[in-house]
A and B are shown apart, each in its own frame.
Chain A
Amino acid sequence: MSRQVSMTINGKKEVFSIGHSGARWEIPDEETLSLTLRERLNLTGTKEACGQGACGCCTVLMNNRAVPSCQILTADCDGADIVTIEGLQDPDTGELDPIQKLFIEKYAFQCGFCTPGIIMALKGLFIKNPTPSRAEVAEALSGNQCRCISQYHVLDAADALAELNAAATNA
């Protein structure tokens, strides 16, 4: 028996059939959200690196919380609001999210494989806390791996966003 789950992905409603009948577009129960995003929806900005929930590359927002999408089953996402890296840029104007702009300004990436996950983890942090300290950002990102070492510049970008937010609050 197949069942349907529906969710919002980057503002667009998506409905999937879940089951094991072998139907071509059916999603098996054990399919991870990262696989659905990458292979079925071609949202390849979400990277999968470890598949163990340990590197943070596949981080997306699920109901405004940063989660590793390789550890979440698509079948369990019924009713969820999912945002991926592709969902941050304004689809009409092409304007980037402030975090994305600051990542460019501060050159907060090297190879860039981990960058979408880091940006989504920061997005989740800033939703909870618009003015985190440098140490709070470092702790929040401790589940995001970067081997090229962009960490110092990522923290600079996050500091800059926290300052912008603080200035906006005080204005």
Chain B
Amino acid sequence: MSYTSKFTRISPKKQYRHIGEDRQRFDASDIVTGKAMFLNDFKMDDLLYAKALRSPHAHARIVKIDISKAEAFPGVHRVLYYGNIPEACKGWGLSTPPAVPILRDKAAYVGDAVALVAAETEQIAEEACDLIEIEYEVLPAVFSTVEAVKPDAPRVHDAFESNILPNVPFMTEHMMDHLVRGDVEKAFAECDHVVEGEGEYNSLGSPMAMEAPGVIMKLEQGRLKAWATTQVAMLYGPSTGVRMQGFPVDTTAFNIGGGFGNKASMQTTTMYTALLAMSTHRPVKMNLTKTEQLLVHDERIGMYMKGKVGIKDGLIHAVKGICYLDCGAYNDCGQWQMGVGLGETQVALGKCQNWDIEGKLVMTNHVQTGAVRGFGGQEIKAVLMPLVMRAVTDMGVDPVEFCARNFAQQGDGWYWRSDYKWYNCREQDYAPVMYKAAEAFGWKDKYKGWLKPTRVEGNKAVGVGVSVHGNADVGEDTAEAYVRFEASGLVYLHAGIAETGAGQRSNIRKYVAEVFDIPVEKVILAPLNSEANPFDAGPIGSRCTITLGTAVTRAAEDCRRQILDAAAKAFFCSPEDLFFKEGFVFYKSRPTQPHHIFEFSHFGSSYTGTGRWTSDYSKSNFNIYFSEVEVDLDTGATKLLKVLVGTDVGQVIDPLTLEMQIHGGFGAAAADSGLFEGNVLDTTTGHIMTGNMIDYKWRTFDDFPDIEAIVEETQPEISRFKATGFGEISGAPGPASMMMAISNAIGVDYCEYPASREGILKALGKL
């Protein structure tokens, strides 16, 4: 292996000072010297440390519990269980809707917290957990959604009458749980070919960010102050408050040691820390170990789908199905993921006019799931696309040709996310870049037809596969920003964006620097906390490029306009006679004569502009993912040989950042959930067997295939700088693409996540 990366911009345009050009991250030096601050580098006096006593049973009732020895242990400040929850917190709940009491006399999964301890040190808290005497009555448990929806299945929570969650509003929106368009039965009758099937993408993948989730909470002036590893510092308080009867939470975040969508609400860790902070009146910190991160932190939501797909004249004509989303023991944002996932199906299959897919959120007795990059879309597509491709290839249509003809273009549209709102797709045609990417990959030579290997050498068969992904939540939710110009010539940007690794905090400066025509180094970000910044939903769903980028651009334009207005008033001229550059105002007629702000403002004056973006789901981003997989026909072992990612991002913001976002499609339970990533759940005991970094498989430094990226920039009129965003979906079509590659390599239709040696040998008839 040569571990190479090739990154090609098909049509780069030099049209901006910063955007599209590489700019060094402002925290680069801090990161390579170890000075960058993460939560665990932040010291706080008076801190107590929290640990949870966790259930060894997947489903059990607490018959007897005695906390007296733990309470008496030196250094212990508080031991909480269902019997002594502080009065103010008795209405707090877990899950969505938050109807499950935060602590109760039951455990709903192996690892569920049944008691909480706050102590002087982590070691004391751990010791105290061991001193809690507890007796359980073990109850029957259910681990699969298909079983859990049956009427006689064990009920995971008393709070819900069945294991199917009600589709309650998420925050203020009623999320889509049943996509209905056209007339599917009539449409199926018109189809040239119809296939039916079922599949599951449910391996409890853990993004396993390097930095484990951690939270500090402190009660201060009637509100909770949080210092947390959350990637959504502005959304953290509101989303947590819903589970705390609206209790106010202010949030500070530092550098985030990897997010992957998986460090948003951090539901249970957040709630347990808050509960202890409320009851001790001391700051309390709960920091998960790596094993806890793998076993009890939010995993990727599972997806089971039984469906039917019909094709007519080379286009998908009808889709019908039922989906069960496996929420585990506590749902975090399943309603939202379902709405987004159902939306995304209509992007990749944009020509289909007849739909009937129903989604149900199902509770099971394993660890809770939550937000993970892909967010409903990757999950449903991992099951739906192989089914679609079976129909396509039965018809003898080339998969790339099919993707190019079926992906949504301007004039198509979709219902997206919530409240059955229709969006007309605009400003997109991704077919050209699909063909260019296919050519760069050598698809025509490598693809020999459905279930035909590219080549076989001895016992090694190689196959190629392709899949596509697009997500319209690039325009998701509100983003606000303030931009303040000071007489020093520095511009202060108040934008609630975390740095999770994709360079967001550095790159967002480019929008401001571009508007003011100043170096990026002159743009300073306000510290990341909810007191100093307006709302932004954070770096999730590839959304920041359009949403916060636009809010910041508008704030900068507003600020610049105010400066020119003030100067024009003082100079008795029109603002149109002036321009702004390098921190000074100039007359257009005298472009070499700078005027300092002091010439038209008091020395204490500053100018603050505001900007806002509100949700718009009328455009998707795009990824076509080609993979070349080698299968050992004797052992069933798979090896990823080559990946090519093709995309049209509208306009590149920062080339090296984009290249690394594309690399980031490996790792974090994204593309690698195709071949090996996932937790292993023992469905006899309910224990996850992979709670360490040896048993949970991840891609090591010496196992990276060659990767190539083909990037188009077609300049859609969606914002001033015409950029679409990409990061979240860089690995999303990977798993489905790899299933096609394996199927083609072995000559048998195969789909199992992650691929297993046993499964492949079975498919080959060798087991």
Binding site for B on A (CB under 8 A): 38, 42-52, 54-55, 57, 84-86, 88-89, 96, 100, 103-104, 107, 109-116, 119, 134-135, 138-139, 141-155
Contact = CB atoms under 8 A, between A and B. Distances in A.
Nearest to A121: B701
A45 B2 contact: no
29 contacts: A44-B37, A44-B40, A46-B34, A47-B40, A47-B210, A54-B692, A54-B693, A85-B33, A86-B34, A89-B33, A96-B32, A104-B24, A110-B502, A111-B257, A113-B38, A113-B210, A116-B34, A135-B2, A141-B702, A142-B700, A142-B703, A145-B698, A146-B701, A147-B209, A148-B210, A151-B3, A152-B4, A153-B660, A153-B663
Contacts of B665: 149
A23 B627 CA distance: 60
Contacts of A114: 210
Nearest to A106: B656
B4 A142 contact: no
B32 A115 contact: yes
Contacts of B40: 38, 44, 47-48
B258 A113 contact: yes
Interface of chain A, helix or strand or loop or mixed? loop
Contact of A142 (B500, B667, B701): B701
B692 A52 contact: yes
B258 A147 contact: yes
B524 to A, nearest CB: 20
A110 B702 contact: no
B704 A138 contact: yes
Contacts of A55: 210, 290, 693
Contacts of B3: 134-135, 138, 151-152, 155
B660 A110 contact: yes
A147 B660 contact: no
Contacts of A150: 660, 663
Contact of A86 (B33, B210, B255): B33
A85 B502 CA distance: 22
A134 B4 CA distance: 10
Contacts of A142: 700-703
B740 interface: no
Contacts of A155: 3
Contact of A148 (B38, B656, B660): B660
Contacts of B212: 49
B23 to A, nearest CB: 10
B211 interface: yes
Contacts of A50: 290, 693
B207 interface: yes
Interface in B682-721: 692-694, 698, 700-704, 707
Contacts of A149: 660, 663-667
A107 B506 CA distance: 13
Contacts of B150: none
A155 B700 CA distance: 13
B33 A88 contact: yes
Nearest to A141: B701
Given A51-B290, A85-B34, 20 more contacts: A45-B34, A47-B34, A52-B291, A55-B210, A86-B33, A96-B33, A103-B28, A109-B31, A110-B503, A111-B210, A111-B259, A112-B27, A112-B36, A141-B702, A142-B701, A145-B698, A148-B502, A148-B667, A149-B660, A149-B663
Nearest to A134: B3
Contact of A147 (B208, B255, B694): B208
B51 to A, nearest CB: 15
A46 B291 CA distance: 20
A139 B3 CA distance: 11
Nearest to B707: A152
